Amino acid sequence: MTKRPRPGAVGAAVQRPARTVRPEGALLVVGDVITDVVARHHGPLAAGTDTVTTIRTVPGGAGANVACWAAHQRRCEVRLVGRVGVDSAAWHERELVACGVRPTLVVDPQAPTGTVICLVDVDAAAERTFLTDSGASLRLAPEDWSDTLLDGVARLHLSGYLLFSEPSRALVALALAAAGARGVPVSLDPASAGFLVALGVDRFLALVEGVDVLLPSRDEACLLTGLPDAADAAAKLSRHVPLVVAKQGAEGALVARSGSVVARVPAVPANPRDTTGAGDAFTGAFLAALLMGAAPEDAAAEGCRAGALAVEGVGGRPPGTG
């Protein structure tokens, strides 16, 4: 049987500016907790022989990264529900607590913690390619959900990776229904263009019915609409989801509502070392700002600042952690 370790206590609070007002409820993130192996290399890989590489093992996972970046803003309480293996459960819990996140981790007795090998080409704007073994993360299932997880929650965020296995899709359906019954708004990040192809666009759009905010990358937005232009794609998606915020990396972000792009938010200049987790950083900072009452355009600007900070470090977590 699976067991839930006692969630760790939130780390010591950082001194907050006097103008900061804490929201009435927490942000709950449900998603993947992953071990990232980041391999930074120069130029193409040398097939059949050695490629000189700098390798680091760091905590990651889209859901966990979003939670950590939201907590990094020091503005709201952030909780995370995820599934890990026995092999690294204690380490991941410690790392999340150190970021200021309150984790509830289901420990899987059979599957190991998911692992992603991130190949980062330093000579190609630090662009990354993922080799993914989802492990325990996609075994999050309905029995791991309780409506009481929403107690005291003002906003729910779902990692799109949950849509790529049957058990976690069933959990998403339960979470969406519970959030809808309580009037808790829900956001979702589609997570992976490659996995979306396998899932199918129509199926994805049906599964996210009831989501209030969609946060796709440019490639994901274009894939979901069949349109080559990111602005047109974001506008079209906003006819399905009330608010769409399309992340465009070095080109900033687009905010779309009711079939139109209403804001183009510029990127913040950065010197990228590793783009792993940049979109997660954007999402976490965006959601923290939104929870504090910021307008979507202003929240997107916070997201761009966090994304720029993220690419200047290695791994998907805020600086000084992991």
Per-residue pLDDT of 57-97, as tens digits, reads 999 999 999 999 999 977 789 999 999 999 999 999 999 99
pLDDT of residue 7: 36
Report how far residue 240's alpha carbon sits from residue 197's, in angstroms, rounded to the nearest whole number: 19
> What residue ranges do the domains of the chain occupy?
26-33+61-82+137-311
Report the C-alpha dihedral over residues 303, 308, 309, 311, rounded to 10 degrees.
Answer: 120
Report the C-alpha dihedral over residues 272, 113, 220, 169, rounded to 10 degrees.
Answer: -160
Query: Three-class SS string for 131-180?
Result: EEECHHHHHCCHHHCCHHHHCCEEEEEEEHHHHHCHHHHHHHHHHHHHHH
pLDDT for 16 beyond 50: no
CA separation, residue 198 to residues 133, 195, 201, 218, 224 (Å):
16, 5, 9, 18, 12
pLDDT of residue 13: 30
* Residues sharing a CB contact under 8 Å with residue 180, sequence separation 6 or more, in sequence order: 186, 210
Task: Quickly state the pLDDT bin for 322 (edges 50, 70, 90).
Answer: low
pLDDT of residue 22: 52
Per-residue pLDDT of 291-313, as tens digits, reads 999 999 999 999 999 999 999 98
Per-residue pLDDT of 107-117, as tens digits, reads 999 999 999 99
Report how far residue 73's alpha carbon sits from residue 207's, in angstroms, rounded to the nearest whole number: 30
Per-residue pLDDT of 19-55, as tens digits, reads 344 567 999 999 999 999 999 998 888 889 999 999 9
pLDDT of residue 86: 96
**Domain 26-33+61-82+137-311 architecture:** 3-Layer(aba) Sandwich (3.40)
> What is the pTM assigned to this prediction?
0.89
